[in-house]
A and B are shown apart, each in its own frame.
Chain A
Amino acid sequence: MAEKVIKKADHYEVEPWRMKEFIQQQEMNGEAISKIVKDRMNYLTWMHRQEAYQCLQGYTEAELSK
């Protein structure tokens, strides 16, 4: 994980020099970046909606009140 990041148009990006040796950055414009962000949020929101009714409490009410 990179220690430092840069911020462009309210969006965080790894320092580009770190992406030269092993894997190179690809051509990606603002709309492509926004699409990834939007898809991620849609996916996570959907995931939470799917799983929420199955989530178990870590503690029961009685255990919490102890």
Chain B
Amino acid sequence: MEILSYKKFYDDPIQKGKPVAKTMETDCYAVFACRHKFCREWCPDYVAERNESYSSYGMHTSLLALSRGQAKLEEMGNEFIHCLECGQCELKCPNTMFGGDFYKYSTTTVDLVRKMRRDLYAQGIKYDGIEEVEKTIEEHKQYDAGADAELTSWAEGLDLPRKGDVVMYVDYYNAFQTREVPIAAAKILKAAGAAPAILDHPAITTGELLDTDLDAWLDGAKRNVEALKAAGAKKVILVNPHEYSYFVKEYPHYLGTLPFEVVYITDYVNELIKDGKIKFVKEFNKKVTYHDPCSLNKLCGNYQAPREIIAALPGVHADIEDPVIQWKYCCGNGVSSAFRKALPDISYKISTERMERANDVGAEVLIVACPHCKDMFAETKTKSGINIEPVHILEIVAECMGIEV
């Protein structure tokens, strides 16, 4: 699957003291002229802060002001950090939802935010919290410069091949911060007789880098595609929905059609369950609900497989909200994690709000399908005392299969 929806003129940088291109001005006007404000009402940041400047409408309006000489780029340091890149606003914008397919013109706020963060960063205009973002990028660069054995240390003892038709791509976040997720994935697939190959040295493609230096991010993306080709991949399984959205939307945009199929782990596991290759031997007797990762549900329209997996789990009592109502939810981390690093207090508020909704349906367990959501909710649980356990869906599948992770 590849979802291609982008505006070529976003490639032209916006620079200090230079006029903004007419195409960009018109593009911003198309959102400014819309008074529906559908973008605002479900924006997790707006709901938490009630500051319209940071809604999709506000950001487009600020750029329109810049293009008309009514604002300065130097004043916009913090304008574009208040975005989780969740995609709710562009999804629900009437320009997209009610005319985007007909006019082949839609609102593309996530692309705009990424572009503006890069343009501002390139000119030394920094936002609050940028030091934390830079620290993460530096950390990931060190992983990249490190030995292969370090990057695949999570797979120690799993005896996974390095070449094969099916390759599981494990990003640095999963490999170092939430290694129980790729371990669970690998053990499940092995037990189902579908052991995947892995890369010796995946390249750096973290979202924070995409937000600051496109060339460096593309360099990592190219290296990933070459490594996956060299490993003989015909199908690539992703275990991080952020990376999945990059493989589905950004890789084809910048690198052309990929020479392999891209699948998210929940889709793959769901197929194995349907084919009878995954057998459950234990019940999971808990009341659960499910949180749709923004990058999967909103950015890629992928929400069915996790629901089908949960329905197939023996003993589970599930009360799961509709994927549409979940457009208004976010765990608080954001797709690039820059939001959480720059605005930890707002991030915590958004996360608490989501956990309270899970509490409203009486859930004991909040099932997630994203390592970042798991990490964010675990932190919120500790801070807030809301007694709901965030658990990754693969960990529950493994438990029901009788596999210890």
Contacts and interface: CB of A to CB of B under 8 A. Distances in A.
Q: Do A and B come from one complex?
A: yes
Interface of A: 5, 11-14, 16, 19, 22-29, 31-33, 35-40, 42-43, 46
Contacts of B92: 43
Contacts of A16: 104
A25, A35, A38: most-surrounded residue (chain B CB, <10 A): A35
Contacts of A12: 102
A14 B23 CA distance: 20
Contacts of A32: 3-5
B5 A13 contact: no
A62 B400 CA distance: 58
Given A22-B26, A24-B23, A36 B7 contact: no
9 contacts: A13-B104, A14-B102, A16-B104, A26-B106, A28-B5, A29-B3, A36-B101, A36-B106, A40-B97
B17 interface: no
A43 B7 contact: no
Nearest 3 pairs between A and B by C-beta?
A32-B5, A46-B324, A29-B4
A12 B30 CA distance: 22
Interface of B: 1-8, 23, 26-27, 30, 91-92, 96-98, 100-106, 108, 253, 300-301, 322-325
A19 B92 CA distance: 22
A39 B6 CA distance: 18
A43 B5 CA distance: 20
Given A24-B23, A26-B7, A27-B8, A35 B301 contact: yes
Contacts of B323: 42
A14 to B, nearest CB: 5
Contacts of B91: 39
Given A36-B97, A36-B106, A39-B301, A31 B4 contact: yes
Contacts of A37: 101
Contacts of B106: 26, 28, 36
Contacts of B324: 42-43, 46
A23 B26 contact: yes
Given A14-B103, A46-B324, 19 more contacts: A11-B101, A16-B104, A23-B27, A23-B30, A25-B103, A26-B104, A26-B105, A27-B4, A27-B5, A27-B6, A27-B8, A28-B4, A28-B106, A29-B2, A33-B101, A33-B104, A38-B301, A39-B91, A43-B324
A55 B108 CA distance: 34
A23 to B, nearest CB: 6
A46 B325 contact: yes
A38 B27 CA distance: 24
A42 B323 CA distance: 9
Nearest to A5: B102
A9 to B, nearest CB: 11
B101, B105, B253, B323: most-surrounded residue (chain A CB, <10 A): B101
B184 to A, nearest CB: 29
A24 B96 CA distance: 14
A16 B103 CA distance: 8
A42 B1 CA distance: 20
B297 to A, nearest CB: 10
Nearest to A16: B104
Contacts of B8: 26-27
A29 B5 contact: yes
A19 B27 CA distance: 13
B5 A26 contact: yes
B97 A43 contact: yes
B56 to A, nearest CB: 16
A31 B3 contact: yes
Nearest to B323: A42
A29 to B, nearest CB: 4
A23 B105 contact: yes
